[in-house]
Amino acid sequence: MEPTLALAMELIGRASVTPDDAGCQTHIAGLLSAAGFHTESLVFGEVTNLWARHGTSAPLVVFLGHTDVVPPGPLADWTTPPFVPAIRDGMLYGRGAADMKGAVAAFVQALIGFVHRHPGHPGSVGLLLTSDEEGPAVNGTIQVLKTLASRGESIDYCLVGEPSCQATLGDTVKNGRRGSLNGELVIHGVQGHVAYPERADNPITRFAPALQSLVSMAWDQGSADFPPTRLQFSHIEAGTGADNVIPGRLRALFNLRYGPATPADVLRARIEEVLAAHKLRYTLTWRLSGEPFLSTDGPLKAALAASILAETGHAPHYSTGGGTSDGRFVAPFGAQVLEFGPPNGSIHKVNEAVSVDDLARLTRIYQGTLERIWAL
Ligand SMILES: [Zn+2]
């Protein structure tokens, strides 16, 4: 069996729902150690991370991924069990097949193939895996990066294996991501009887016009690389459940996906201005999930594009769309970060799958990228 397919099946067979790694990283560390990599397990809290490196000099090129997966949901909805790999019609099925055990398997085999062919390669190659990408992402990649930085190990180029493609392998590379800013808003009112509204202060009534102002706001026009900033409310709650009580408070959650055109502190100030203009009594708590980043042209981008073209015939489209990934943690350390992985149509769904052919092609693209960075 083709080694990337075999490894992907091995990993899918381990039910590594966040943050449980279920032995995936130990298995991978064994393969990389046998190929001459220095490997170490970095455990923070209940999160297991793997750092593997071959070579000691710069530049350091790192493949970044995760071994954890999202829960499968109701098992009865799956055609075959989510943690039993199954091949049907050229597709490998199982939770994590596309997000992202297929790409992790391709990373590992590309690294092994690379050091086998180029044992005295210049620079260094590495693999960073976490079991906390789909969860809070507090004790995962960011902690490993801090550890590496404290030792003076700095990453120059980082390729994230998240499923970036849309319809076919090679159609899309993510060259940056929008920032993500979360707000939890509590509007304070005064509880009372609906028949005596003059003795109460209804936070729903007070908030409605402010909500309208916020959702109709044009934050910016975006830029060549980023779509316009968007605000979405994800949750609103108020009330006791009784139809004769004016609630004393309203709680709302919202998120902004934003580009560099409007920094997070400007967004925060503009939202507080709206709330102040509507004379609301409120408490607002902010949580910044990630700053926007954009990777510029450079050796990694050129090497990846050439490898994709050679393998698939596609000149990839570059996108900053979609959700965040752990790439957001790497970019602030000064590395060039790109994301390239298999088509993402089935991720987080039942019957998640990846093309068996794509696994082999992905492996050649990843190995070819390393070789092209050093023109080997
Ligand atoms: Zn993922």
Closest CA relative to residue 35, chosen from 167, 132, 126:
126
Judge whether residue 110 has pLDDT over 90: yes
224 Cβ contact partners less than 8 Å away, ≥ 6 residues apart = none
Find out whether the peptide bond into 19 is cis, omega within 30 degrees of 0. yes
Lookup: tokens for 284? 């607002």
Cα 94 to ligand 1 centre (Å):
14
Residues 257 and 331 in one domain: no
Residues 275 and 334 in one domain: no
pLDDT the model gives residue 73: 93
pTM of the predicted protein model: 0.88
Residues 339 and 240 in one domain: no
Per-residue confidence band for 322, with pLDDT thresholds at 50, 70 and 90: confident
Domain count, the chain: 2
Report the CATH number that the domain containing residue 189 is assigned in CATH. Answer: 3.30.70.360
Q: Which residue has the tokens 């000149």?
A: 315
How far CA 188 is from CA of 104, 192, 233, 285, 356, in Å, comes to 48, 13, 18, 14, 55
239: left (phi over 0), alpha (psi -120 to 50) or beta: left
Cα 132 to ligand 1 centre (Å):
10
Query: Last residue of a domain, which of 270, 290, 310?
Result: 290
93 Cβ contact partners less than 8 Å away, ≥ 6 residues apart = 79, 80, 85, 86, 87, 351, 352, 353
Cα 99 to ligand 1 centre (Å):
4
288-318: per-residue pLDDT in tens? 988 999 998 899 999 999 999 999 999 999 9
Query: Last residue of a domain, which of 273, 290, 307?
Result: 290
Q: Which residues are catalytic?
A: 68, 133
Residues 166 and 197 in one domain: no
Cα 22 to Cα 16: distance, rounded to the nearest angstrom: 5
Residues 152 and 228 in one domain: no
Residues 266 and 297 in one domain: no
Cα 112 to ligand 1 centre (Å):
22
Residues 85 and 184 in one domain: no
Residues 211 and 337 in one domain: no
33-63: per-residue pLDDT in tens? 999 999 999 999 999 999 999 999 999 999 9
Query: Last residue of a domain, which of 233, 262, 290?
Result: 290
Residues 7 and 156 in one domain: yes
Cα 209 to ligand 1 centre (Å):
38
Report the CATH number that the domain containing residue 108 is assigned in CATH. Answer: 3.40.630.10
Per-residue confidence band for 321, with pLDDT thresholds at 50, 70 and 90: confident
Domain of 244 in residue numbering reads as 179-290
pLDDT the model gives residue 136: 86
Residues 192 and 155 in one domain: no
